[in-house]
Amino acid sequence: MERVMSPISSEKKTAGRLAKTKNMLYEYRYLHLMMLPALVFFVLFRYLPMYGIMIAFTRYDPIGGFWGIITAEWVGLDHFRRLFDSIFFTRILRNTLLISMYRLVFAFPMPIILAILINEVVSVRFKRAVQTITYMPFFLSWVVVSGMIIVLLSPTSGPVAAISQELGLQPTAILSDRRFFRSILVISDIWRSIGFGSIIYLAAITGIDQEIYEAATVDGATRIQKIFRITLPQLGFVISIMLILSLGRILNENFEQIINLYSPAVYEVADVFETYVFRTGVLGRQHSMAAAVGLFQSTVSLVMILFCNRAARMLGYEGLW
């Protein structure tokens, strides 16, 4: 026979859970206070704005303000149909996927490689110097970095143009050349973020049990063998998590980088969803269309995270959940 829980015992169990929760909140009250600003930030700038998703299904006029979201004419999926039927959709989808793939193939492994190389350095002073030099560019905004790239690659006054002239070559406007623009994006992104991205991998390497390396040394393993047989397998969990998060952002390119570097001459290879939203939503005042594009990106990102997390668990790695 099934055991039926009496109302009294159920109330006692609920009271016990509440008391346990109160004790936990009080015991870790300082940690909760430290976490409070982050919670407030996400509530104000991530969850409350979700109400604005309705704009993607209405003909919204920003003159109406907040109340205009409610009173706007409902148009259903019209904006999504316009997006998919647009002559620019194929171009921005192709460019976004290609640039994201280039970043995954070339930029994603670089922090891992740098972290392993720094870990192999014996001199502590040299190791700290390399860490400082490599992660300092991350604190420069893309406006500053883009300005440096524009000056560096200037066809009239840049050092690259001067070197080309000394070699007897004709200087070219590299930033306006479709053949080189995507490579410039990837290389500049690697230069700016490789040092900062390696921090998490260095922290994971530090947590590896040193007795494993000592046992491998006794067995006669070389440094290369230790990297491939110990370090990389131990980093598998962190790598899988970072890869899942990177794939989840596959349709969200670095807007600040591209908007400061591109020009109409390279729209064919550089125009992505964010730049398209900027032109249509901000400059063209088509806010509903821009919201539809953003919702499409978020939906694809969610699907990619779910799929990659499932794939990682099937391959034996721990996913995000």
Token look-up 């952002």 returns: 249
pLDDT, residue 192, reads 92
Non-local (6+) Cβ contacts of 217 within 8 A are 226
pLDDT, residue 29, reads 85
The pLDDT of residue 257 is above 70? yes
CA distance 109 to 266: 27
Confidence of residue 1 (pLDDT cuts 50, 70, 90): very low
Token look-up 């500053």 returns: 144
The pLDDT of residue 4 is above 70? no
Half-sphere exposure of 321 (CA within 13 A, CB side): 3
Half-sphere exposure of 43 (CA within 13 A, CB side): 6
The pLDDT of residue 7 is above 60? no
Three-state secondary-structure class, residue 167: coil
Confidence of residue 8 (pLDDT cuts 50, 70, 90): low
* Rounded average pLDDT over 18-41: 86
φ, ψ of residue 58 in degrees (nearest 5): -130, 170
* Rounded average pLDDT over 215-232: 89
The pLDDT of residue 248 is above 90? no
What does the pLDDT look like over 149-197, one tens digit per residue? 998 888 887 788 888 888 877 878 888 888 889 999 999 999 999 999 9
Contact, 52 vs 291, CB < 8 A?
yes
What does the pLDDT look like over 262-302, one tens digit per residue? 888 888 898 898 888 888 887 888 888 888 888 888 888 88
Dihedral of alpha carbons 219, 220, 222, 228, sign: negative
Count of other CB atoms within 10 angstroms of residue 191:
16
Q: What is the mean pLDDT of the chain?
A: 85
CATH topology of domain 92-314: MetI-like fold (1.10.3720)
- 169: which 2 tokens? 């070559």
Token look-up 């500049």 returns: 188
What does the pLDDT look like over 120-150, one tens digit per residue? 888 889 988 998 899 899 999 999 999 999 9
pLDDT, residue 2, reads 45
Q: Which of 92-106, 107-121, 208-222, 240-254 has the lowest mean pLDDT?
A: 240-254
The residues that bridge with 73 in the sheet, in sequence order, are 59
Three-state secondary-structure class, residue 59: strand
Contact, 92 vs 271, CB < 8 A?
yes
pLDDT, residue 6, reads 55
CA distance 275 to 272: 6
Contact, 184 vs 106, CB < 8 A?
no
